[in-house]
Amino acid sequence: MKQATPAAVDVAEFVARRSVGQSLEAPFYVSQEFFDLDIEAVFARHWLFVATDAELPEPGDYVTVAIGPYSIIVVRDDNEDVRAFHNVCRHRGARILGEERGTVGNIVCGYHQWTYGVDGKLLHAPSQAPDFAPSCFSLRSVHARTVAGLVYICLSQTPPEDFDEVAAQAEPYLAPHNLAKAKVAAQIDLVENGNWKLTMENNRECYHCGGHPELLCAYFPTYGYGEQNLPAVLRPTYERYLQADAAVRLTYDSLGLPYTLVEELDTRTTGFRIQREPLDGAGESYTSDGKAACKRLLADFPTARLGRLAFHTQPNAWFHLMADHAITFSAIPLGPDRTLVRTTWLVHADAVEGIDYDLDTLTKVWAATNEQDALFVARAQQGVSSPAYVPGPYAPSEEDVEAFANWYVTRLRAYLSDTERQR
């Protein structure tokens, strides 16, 4: 018997009827239609964190980034600026660079050897007609900019203009950690078996932090609760947090390090949140006792006890910056139920593995935490894929999950109304 073709998901209908205060309906997480919409409405129109300066230390160093059907080359040019281009040859469209990273003198298409400079200009196209104008065939550029060592790209020709304001607010917090001068100590790619929004939602709450025993050695799991909603079991931890917070604020003030929470997760096009706060234990880093994992600090700090600087940007990134190292996270959708989570550990460029830091100690907490999160995300994906799933309520401590969902739905609505207008 012939199987009925499943009806296409009416994305506009689901977006229009989304209820605030609860998780999204199943098609947002499981359908190809929403995956395609997310690529166009979110990932192709907003600023995405895709790499660090430290991954591109020299001119010609590049990474390629796959965003749905797009492939982007992010490369350091001869002026040491980071540039980005579509990885599509201007001759007959071949994918130019096939590797995830590497170093090039020029960018050469392997099909008919069209050769581009790292500034995207076409330098050489063999055997063309005499009237051929190479200047008309530069690589198509993609907006790229760095914020204190973090590389963002935007595929839209008219990127959200508020990114400058976000960068201006975040840079004073980020810059003291010197990430532009750091080096990559480790990078781990993990493919989570879940929709990218489940990855992000999971990141935006600590309601599930009981499932992270390694993390809780250093991390205060009171994130998102606030005084009123604190469960009794977290009360002693919260008291410890308050004491650590008072102590660390004195340090921040004496060093002139900004620490106040700025939270604009769903109130602007480039949603973000930034805050400096204490860590538990020795208060220095993400290790089993909270002590620094790297003896050589990222900057000339007089103490390693700086807690962490937490920075979140919508749609796809979060960061932890400590005195001794920093960790960056990006989430890139691979399919409706697959997401690449790339974690990068940065240390001072002169820190020496085996002398200043032990790689296992440096990466242990977050490598374990990521694996645990991947299981939570896979479990969530399995659940929302069941016909029995109905959206459930966000707890008060999940306010940043809700802010993420609010931001996301707002961005979809903006896209859908723009495309409607253009019809």
- Which residues of this chain interact with ligand FES, rule CB under 6 A? 89, 91-94, 109, 111-112, 114
Work out the end-to-end distance of the chain between its first and last CA atoms, rounded to an integer number of angstroms.
40
Residue 181's SS3 state is: helix
Interaction partner, residue 92 (Fe ion, ligand FES, none; CB < 5-8 Å by kind)? ligand FES
Residue 317's SS3 state is: strand
Closer CB to ligand FES, residue 26 or residue 97? 97
Asked if 212 and 220 touch (Cβ cutoff 8 Å), the reply is no
Closer CB to ligand FES, residue 92 or residue 235? 92
> What Cα–Cα distance (Å) separates residue 34 from each residue in 9, 13, 193, 402?
8, 12, 16, 19
Residue 378 CB, nearest distance to Fe ion (Å)? 13
| Residue corresponding to tokens 């109905």 | 390
**What's the CA gap between 32 and 338, in Å, rounded?**
12
Residue 399 CB, nearest distance to Fe ion (Å)? 16
User: What is the H or E stretch that residue 254 is in?
Assistant: helix 235-255
Interaction partner, residue 114 (Fe ion, ligand FES, none; CB < 5-8 Å by kind)? ligand FES
Closer CB to Fe ion, residue 61 or residue 373? 373
Closer CB to ligand FES, residue 111 or residue 132? 111
Residue 112 CB, nearest distance to ligand FES (Å)? 3
| Residue corresponding to tokens 């999160």 | 373
Stretch that binds Fe ion, among 113-121, 284-292, 370-378, 382-390 (CB under 5 A): 370-378
> What Cα–Cα distance (Å) separates residue 399 from each residue in 31, 234, 311, 358?
25, 18, 16, 36
**What's the CA gap between 91 and 166, in Å, rounded?**
38
Strand partners, 326: 321, 346
Residue 59 CB, nearest distance to Fe ion (Å)? 38
192 contributes a contact to Fe ion by CB under 5 A? no
Strand partners, 61: 103
Interaction partner, residue 112 (Fe ion, ligand FES, none; CB < 5-8 Å by kind)? ligand FES
72: tokens are 């982007």
408: tokens are 């996301």
373 contributes a contact to Fe ion by CB under 5 A? yes
Closer CB to ligand FES, residue 94 or residue 190? 94
Q: Which of 362, 373, 59 is nearest to 184 (CA)?
A: 362
Closer CB to ligand FES, residue 89 or residue 200? 89
- How many residues in the shown chain lie near Fe ion by CB under 5 A? 1
Stretch that binds Fe ion, among 291-299, 347-355, 368-376, 384-392 (CB under 5 A): 368-376
Closer CB to Fe ion, residue 107 or residue 374? 374
Residue 91 CB, nearest distance to ligand FES (Å)? 3
Residue 236 CB, nearest distance to Fe ion (Å)? 21
Residue 32 CB, nearest distance to ligand FES (Å)? 29
User: Backbone dihedral region of 379: left (phi > 0), alpha (psi from -120 to 50 degrees) or beta?
Assistant: alpha
CB-based contacts of 31-36 (< 8 A; 24+ apart in sequence): 31/336, 32/336, 33/8, 33/9, 34/9, 34/336, 35/68, 35/195, 35/333, 35/335, 35/336, 36/68
Residue 109 CB, nearest distance to ligand FES (Å)? 3
Residue 138 CB, nearest distance to ligand FES (Å)? 13
Interaction partner, residue 91 (ligand FES, Fe ion, none; CB < 5-8 Å by kind)? ligand FES
Closer CB to Fe ion, residue 214 or residue 373? 373
Q: Which of 37, 13, 6 is nearest to 333 (CA)?
A: 37
Interaction partner, residue 373 (Fe ion, ligand FES, none; CB < 5-8 Å by kind)? Fe ion
Interaction partner, residue 95 (ligand FES, Fe ion, none; CB < 5-8 Å by kind)? none
Q: Give me the residues that bind Fe ion (CB under 5 A), please.
A: 373
